[in-house]
Structure 1
Amino acid sequence: MAKKTKNAMTLHKVIMVGSGGVGKSALTLQYMYGDFVEEYDPTKADSYRKKIMLDGHECDIDILDTAGQEEYAAIRDNYYRSGEGFLCVFSVCEYESFEHAQEFRDQILRVLDDDTIPFILVGNKVDLEHLRKVTTEEAQQLAQEWNCNYMETSAKTRYNVENVYTMLMRQIRDRKEQMSMTDSRSKKGKCIIL
């Protein structure tokens, strides 16, 4: 019975990063409430929390949408430190947002000094295929260089929205379990002489 309570208390902290206007807030709101928001005030960071079932276990997801805060380095770095996993979003219709993804990745790695942090590159707005400027192959190649997953989404049609958050939360959960096992193994090998 204690195990069930422990799972119910699990919290996964997700940070949304990416250039302005790529759909970070739209993805978050679509995931949280099933709504597509066309116009959104990008001047403040918002935090959302939701109880979900992840592979049969109840847990909480906490999503921090960093909209409009990227230029304040001290604030940004604190956000990054609090994250357990990152969705780095760009618009497939805007090549510059794809190029900026590298800057976000570099900032995160500089702050956390850990290239094994759960991280997914997300190409949003695939519903606007006729306006596409970034090919799937280009994005997959970048994700391969970064040793992370790439997923294409549409906040408007909800395409892959659930899947991208679920994939990231599994990575966060698996990493926590792996770190917990490593900690317990290192404690077992120690003996105390009194």
Structure 2
Amino acid sequence: MPEQSNDYRVVVFGAGGVGKSSLVLRFVRGTFRESYVPTIEDTYRQVISCNKQVCTLQITDTTGSHQFPAMQRLSISKGHAFILVYSIMSRQSLEELKPIYAEICDIKGDTENIPIMLVGNKCDETTREVSPNDGTALSKQWNCAFMETSAKTNHNVKELFQELLQLEKRRSMSLQLDSKKSKSQKRREKLKGKCAVMKRWRASTTELSFPLAKPNTALLLLRSVRRCKLHAPCSVTVRVLTTNGFHYSYLSNL
């Protein structure tokens, strides 16, 4: 889920009449509207469980008109995930998604970590202009998920939003792993500096001095250096100078 937010914002794009509103209403309310009513922009909220947390799925159903470019850019900038809908009965509706996808790339930058679903709606219809292979090919080109749906028969509607949430979970896990990897790299870089002395002196016995240090402290420091596992085991002579001026040496195998 997006950081510091319990709202997961999904934006639905597509040409007029492809069934964007029908998909959203079928998912949120379980209803289907036969008549076509053009949408300017509607927002629906659905409470869901995701990543073991209760959050609000905020679905923005956008207009199919190109008269509101500023509104479209704002929806993209605020969106966490995107559903790009076309009708399998209209190749033109598929072509109209291409500039929208390009704008998502322009605003969001790296779309590899942005959950995007390409959706061919009205798959219950027998008259086709876009085959499933066409949708699959474009989804591979865009590196996004693909699914055919029917808001009328409720085919794959629930699965569509479930898949979108799974994409978000995988994205979140990937970001967490990248973050852990970055921290691990920083720790290795810090340890690399501590191991420089051991790396230069590869002799079987090495003498190190720890002024004003206790013997146990000296050994602890040496063993912490050894944990980096960059070098072969070696014997180390530890010389300890105590606060009262005495010093002594002993041999330690790390």
Q: 1:45 touches 1:68 (CA, 8 Å); kept in 2?
A: no
The equivalences for 1:34-45 within 5 A come to 34-45=30-41
Correspondence for 1:83: 79
Instruction: Name the structure 2 match of 1:146.
Output: 142
Counterpart residue identity of residue 64, structure 1: T
1:104 is aligned, of 96, 100, 104, to 100
* TM-score with structure 1 setting the length: 0.84
Which consecutive residues of structure 1, in runs of 5 or more, have no partner in the other structure?
1-8
- Partner Cα separation in structure 2 for residue 179 and residue 42 of structure 1: 38
1:118 is the counterpart of 2:91: no
Asked whether 1:176 is paired with 2:175, we answer: no
Larger Rg: 2
> Counterpart of 1:139 in 2: which secondary structure?
helix
Q: Is the 8 A contact 2:14 2:20 kept in 1?
A: yes
User: What's the Cα RMSD here?
Assistant: 2.2
SS in 1 for 2:111: coil
Gaps in structure 2 of 5+ consecutive residues? 191-254
> How many residues are aligned here?
182
What letter matches 1:122 in structure 2?
V
- The higher relative CO (CA closer than 8 Å, separation ≥ 6) is in 1
Q: What is the rounded CA distance, in whole Å, between the counterparts of 1:57 and 1:101 in structure 2?
A: 33
* 3-state SS in 1 of match to 2:150: coil
TM-score (structure 2 length as normaliser): 0.65
Residue number among 22, 25, 29 corresponding to 1:33 in the alignment? 29
SS in 2 for 1:131: coil
Specify the code of the residue in structure 2 equivalent to 1:159. Answer: H
CA distance in 1, matches of 2:75, 2:101: 14
1:160 maps onto 2:159 in alignment: no
In structure 1, distance between residues paired with 2:79 and 2:45: 14
Distance in structure 1 (CA, Å) of the matches to 2:181 and 2:132: 41
Q: Which of the two has greater helix per residue?
A: 1
Shift of 1:31: 0.3
CA contact (8 A) 2:17 2:64 kept: no
Please tell me the residue identity of whatever aligns with 1:77: R
Residue number in structure 2 paired with 1:6:
none
Q: Deviations over 1:7-35 (max 9, x none)?
A: xx743211101111100000000000000
Aligned pairs (5 A) from 1:38-57: 38-54=34-50
CA distance in 1, matches of 2:127, 2:140: 24
Q: Are 1:131 and 2:132 counterparts?
A: no
Contact persistence 1:15–1:80 (CA under 8 A): yes
Contact kept? 1:25, 1:67, Cα under 8 Å: no
Percent identical pairs in the alignment equals: 34
CA distance in 2, matches of 1:40, 1:133: 21
**Contact preservation (8 Å) 2:13, 2:64:** no
8 Å CA contact 2:139–2:146 kept in 1: the answer is yes
